[in-house]
Amino acid sequence: MTSLFDPITIGDIALANRVVMAPLTRNRSPNAIPNDLQVEYYRQRAGAGLIITEGTPITQQGQGYADVPGLYKPEAIAGWKKVTDAVHAAGGKIVTQIWHVGRVSHVSLQPGGAQPVAPSAITAKSKTYVIDDQGNGTFTETSAPRALGTEEIAGIVDDFRKGARAAIEAGFDGIELHAANGYLIDQFLRSGTNHRTDQYGGSIENRARFLLEVVEAVTREIGGGRVGIRLSPVTPANDASEPDPQPIFNHVAEKLAAFGLAYIHVIEGATGGARDYQQGDKPFDYAAFKQAHRAAGGKAAWMVNNGYDRESAADAVESGRADLVAFGRLFIANPDLVRRLREHAALNEPNRNTFYGGKEAGYTDYPALA
């Protein structure tokens, strides 16, 4: 029987176990440049089979939160290289989650104070994290976006390609495309945020077009075996809405089969909330979603995420429902989470007051087992 602690190879990446550190925004990289805090934070967690970094914007336009690390400056690539070197020296594997937030941003974070961009000019009923006039981190309403012109979209696709190449230059084992949680790619997928009338809006095929163009660009650049993608079929995060998510997400799962991806990372239910959350009149069928990928010939490893504990994660892998399980908050408080799960050891409790912003406290000072 396959165990949560058995090795697995996903695409071109060999992992020591099936416990994954989920991407976690922590807002501790001023000027969008990773620093020594990130080196230590990720090094401590190298026991994970795979680390997925916090969301990492591919351009300043793609940035929606203050003090998150980017991939669009030489200094940021150099900073990330220190992180990847430390993780590899500790025996770990690490990919970076490349990110464009779309409308989930604020004018203070955008180049020249410009409006954020989106598929359609619909303001998100959401908040983002900025630094106020006193230098303190605070959450504030997102700014009204403008709709992308059709002629601009190819440039953003190419920004994703450049981000994937920058990730490899920084020493990452691969990348995860952030196509979840109401950010730009997800905004194109959902009818609640995409009211376009060109070839990127309307039908399921049109709304999936941007995602598939991005996947094609990054897999052509670095190879499908180093690319994963994160999807969240029913989450309401960042005001994401789709009254009938099954058809479009089954279509996406089917079309992704052609790219030879390393993995598909699925947030089940509401991000950080109920796993049985649904949008629309009927529950989302995750088994049918996975089967759509497999029936089309897709072999990507299947990663599940959202509120898993040791028992439910072990069951997901042992039953064959998933190949990998991602943990978020448990990894915040337990740098040695894999060992604790393996030994049935007690877990540290995370301090929510230190999730966003700050320095060592609540970041690199959680104790490991003796």
| 353 has pLDDT over 90 | yes
Average pLDDT in the 206-227 region? 98
Tracing tokens 């399980």 back to the chain, one arrives at 325
- The pLDDT assigned to 135 comes to 86
Reading the block at residue 356, the tokens are 């966003």
Cα separations (Å) of 328 from 19, 146, 271, 297, 305?
Answer: 11, 32, 11, 30, 8
DSSP codes, 100-151: --TTS--GGGSGGGPPPEESSS---S-EEEEE-TTS-EEEEEPPPPEEPPHH
Q: How far is CA 35 from the centre of its chain?
A: 20
| 108 has pLDDT over 90 | yes
- The pLDDT assigned to 118 comes to 98
167 or 137: whose pLDDT is higher?
Answer: 167
- The pLDDT assigned to 366 comes to 98
DSSP codes, 293-331: HHHTT---EEEEESS--HHHHHHHHHTTS-SEEEESHHH
327, 267 Cβ separation under 8 angstroms = no
pLDDT, tens digit, for every residue of 361-370? 999 999 999 9
Q: Is 256 in a helix, a strand, or coil?
A: helix
Return the H-helix or E-strand segment holding 51: strand 50-57
How far is the C-alpha of 324 from the C-alpha of 50, rounded, in Å? 9
Work out the percent of the chain whose per-residue pLDDT is above 70. Answer: 100
Architecture of the CATH domain 8-354: Alpha-Beta Barrel (3.20)
pLDDT band at 316 (very low <50, low <70, confident <90, very high): very high
Average pLDDT in the 305-311 region? 97
Residue 219: CB partners within 8 Å, gap ≥ 6?
227, 259, 260, 261
The strand pair at 146-147 and 117-118 is best described as parallel
- The pLDDT assigned to 280 comes to 87
- The pLDDT assigned to 133 comes to 85
Average pLDDT in the 125-146 region? 93
Reading the block at residue 300, the tokens are 């990507």
- The pLDDT assigned to 64 comes to 97
Average pLDDT in the 211-216 region? 99
- 274-279 contacts, C-beta under 8 A, 24 or more apart: 275/306, 275/307, 277/234, 277/235, 277/236, 278/234, 279/234, 279/236, 279/241, 279/242, 279/243, 279/245
pLDDT band at 134 (very low <50, low <70, confident <90, very high): confident
| 308 has pLDDT over 90 | yes
Residue 94: CB partners within 8 Å, gap ≥ 6?
42, 46, 50, 51, 52, 53, 83, 84, 87, 88, 172, 173
Residue 279: CB partners within 8 Å, gap ≥ 6?
234, 236, 241, 242, 243, 245
Average pLDDT in the 6-30 region? 98
Q: What does pLDDT average to over the chain?
A: 97
From the CA atom positions of the chain, what is the Rg in Å?
19
| 162 has pLDDT over 90 | yes
Buried b (16+ CB within 10 A) or exposed e, 198-223: eebbeebebbbbbbbbbbebbbebbb
| Sign of the torsion angle spanned by Cα atoms 317, 323, 326, 330 | positive
**Partner residues linked to 263 by β-bridges:** 228, 301
Buried b (16+ CB within 10 A) or exposed e, 5-43: eeebebbebebbbbbbbbbbbbbbbeebbbeebbbbbbb
pLDDT band at 32 (very low <50, low <70, confident <90, very high): very high
- The pLDDT assigned to 101 comes to 98
How far is the C-alpha of 268 from the C-alpha of 180, rounded, in Å? 11
pLDDT, tens digit, for every residue of 68-98? 999 999 999 999 999 999 999 999 999 999 9
| Catalytic residue chosen out of the listed positions 65, 129, 183, 286 | 183
- Active site (annotated) includes residue 363: no
How far is the C-alpha of 297 from the C-alpha of 286, rounded, in Å? 17
Phi-psi region of 308 (alpha: psi -120 to 50; beta: other; left: phi over 0): beta
Return the H-helix or E-strand segment holding 8: strand 8-10
